[in-house]
Amino acid sequence: MLPKLKISAFLLKRLERTKQQCSGCLFGVFYGEGTLLLLSFNIESSLGQLNYEQIQHRFPAELDLCGLVKFGGCTDGEAHLNEVIKSVDITDNPILLQCELGTLVGLRASFFVHGKLEEVPYEVMEAYQLYNDFCFTRLQCGFFLQTAATPESVSREMHVLRKRVADGNLVFNVPQTKIFINNYGPLDKQFSGDSQIQDLIDVIPTPGHEKETASVDKKKPKGQNTPVKRLAPTGCDYEVIHIDVMRSRSRDPVAGEPPHPALSIAVTNEEQIRVQVPLEIEAMAILCRKTKLQRLYDVLIESICRGLRLFELSLIEHLTESGSGKLLVPASYHFYPQEFGHFVSCAYLEGLSDDTPSMLERRKRLHRQFALPVSRPYFRRSNQMRFLGETEDAPWTPLLNTHIGLRPSGVVDGKEYLVNGNYHYYHYLQQQVQDKGWGCAYRSLQTICSWFVLQGYTNAPIPTHLEVQEYLHKINDKPAAFVGSSQWIGSTEISMCLQGFLNVDSKILHVASGAELATIASELAMHFQTQGTPVMIGGGVLAHTIIGVDYCVQTGQVKFLILDPHYTGADDLATIQIKGWCGWKGMDFWAKGSYYNLCMPQRPILY
């Protein structure tokens, strides 16, 4: 019986954006009673085993090679078609997608059955269905690799290490619980042989950020019963189960006391001079919530092995390219490109900055393989996902994405155009700065800078009021008396600071009065579609941040999504939303007698 085919809505949008004649590999999850869900693809001018194996190692465990995709009249994949088909392990019936360029019209899906193609229908799995039906695991563990600094030795010792990992001696624990899982299954009487991943999620304690998470998740699509995602990190709607790794003293089922932690595994080779490399693995897997809990152990082991393979590839690539004979320490990074609907992992070496030529070339290669533009960053270190619990001991940070969960604006037949990405909400009196009455534009600048930091364009610190004043004096825009004063700034000064601190250009837009702001609604909509950056608007002595518009082209009705820097209270999301400090504002919000200047930051070309 052929699998039931589903295709992620994220994947369909990516396929539709592909306008070059090429071939690529498809990756999916096989789950339930014979369902294949297509989640991702890569493209490359030459398809080969090395290509798709390297790509697969970057994906969470259980997201596997399942077929081929062809765009237009492409024939370059024909020579490798049989090789790809033979490499598909998760189903006996590999899939072939045939797409026209730049459109989903005419998309055909076929399974290979006894060497012949059989066309089949498919269902689209929307984003909310993915979030409801699937989750991810993320585990952290440490090993020591002892190896000679040669590609051959690294490959050999990594192979031995993977075998050690898979020998059945590891035990997994869900943090802050007494739930342990070994190769016999979960060691807890509350779980039976029929228990599912969802049963495990239900008993995991809610993290310390539950209040913020719950309030953020209030906005639900109409008609969709979307449960609150207690374990979802900010910026991601999937729940992520965190796992600790231990090592059992024996292979027998553990009774009584939990197993003792094992911090390292050493692999030795007495015939060569060795160096010891610490390997701090972070590995991920994707699971259907209805998957039997009995399978979890094998999936977690596979995720560790994928992480080790990524480390191996990065070490060998550096040894081969540099010829230095020096082993650097690899580290795991997980990224969540919004266009993908799934995580992608990379292994980067300590000591190689994001701007070194080799790192730039690796990222460019990734962009091309995933059909991503090379005009914006996706895989720089600053793009990595921040998981729940990672920032508990970090310095204070403002609230993130305060517009999420707001009620609709009420514009009839309007279309929302919103900031594209994450930002922090900066406002009066934060960081013990007494800027009430004069610091609103400074706070708007800080919010804009946070957007560029959180999108991975820069690692520069958010500029303080004093640093802004010092810079404006340095470039001879302000006199010396301005430094340390309580004088306000406007959109022009904001654009100067964005150029000076971040090398970001801005477009300045002038509006004669508040009554005419509706005339630039279409231009703001285009800005959020193409640039996606927060916009600073200044009028009179007041400054605000625009992070979206809801605009009806037919009637001209518009509302502006405003982030108000004049707020002086505590960083409480509910208060900020209910009191309108972040909310939709109509034309009556603007002063009809004041002129306005808008600073519209432009994305730099960077990857």
DSSP output for 69-128:
EEETT--TTGGGHHHHHHH--S-SS-EEEEE-TT--TT-EEEEEETTEEEEE--EEE-HH
Q: What is the pLDDT of residue 21?
A: 87
CATH no. of 4-125: 3.40.140.10
Catalytic residue among 199, 566, 571, 572: 566
Q: What is the pLDDT of residue 192?
A: 86
Alpha carbons 448 and 492: distance in angstroms, whole number: 14
pLDDT in tens, 33-87: 899 999 999 986 544 444 677 889 999 999 999 999 999 876 655 556 777 778 8
Is 566 among the catalytic positions?
A: yes
Strands 344-349 and 64-71: unpaired
Domain 415-601, second-level architecture = Alpha-Beta Complex (3.90)
Is 582 among the catalytic positions?
A: no
Alpha carbons 107 and 579: distance in angstroms, whole number: 48
Alpha carbons 148 and 274: distance in angstroms, whole number: 4
Q: What is the pLDDT of residue 51?
A: 67
Contact present, 151 and 255 (Cβ < 8 Å) = no
Contact present, 565 and 427 (Cβ < 8 Å) = yes
Q: What is the pLDDT of residue 76?
A: 59
The segments of the chain whose pLDDT lies below 50 read 46-50, 209-226, 251-265, 269, 392-393
Among 545, 448, 560, which Cα is nearest to 504's?
448
Catalytic residue among 346, 440, 497, 582: 440
Q: What are the tokens at 227?
A: 């449960």
- CA separation, residue 545 to residues 428, 556, 566 (Å): 13, 22, 11
- Residue type present at position 416: E
pLDDT in tens, 465-495: 999 999 999 999 999 999 999 999 999 999 9
Determine the Cα angle at 318 with ends 313 and 324, to 5°: 145
Is 133 among the catalytic positions?
A: no
Q: What are the tokens at 421?
A: 């990405």
Q: What are the tokens at 160?
A: 């031995």
Partners of residue 95 on adjacent β-strands: 67, 111
Task: Parse the chain into domains and list their residue ranges.
Answer: 4-125, 133-205+231-249+274-383, 415-601
Catalytic residue among 64, 354, 435, 564: 564
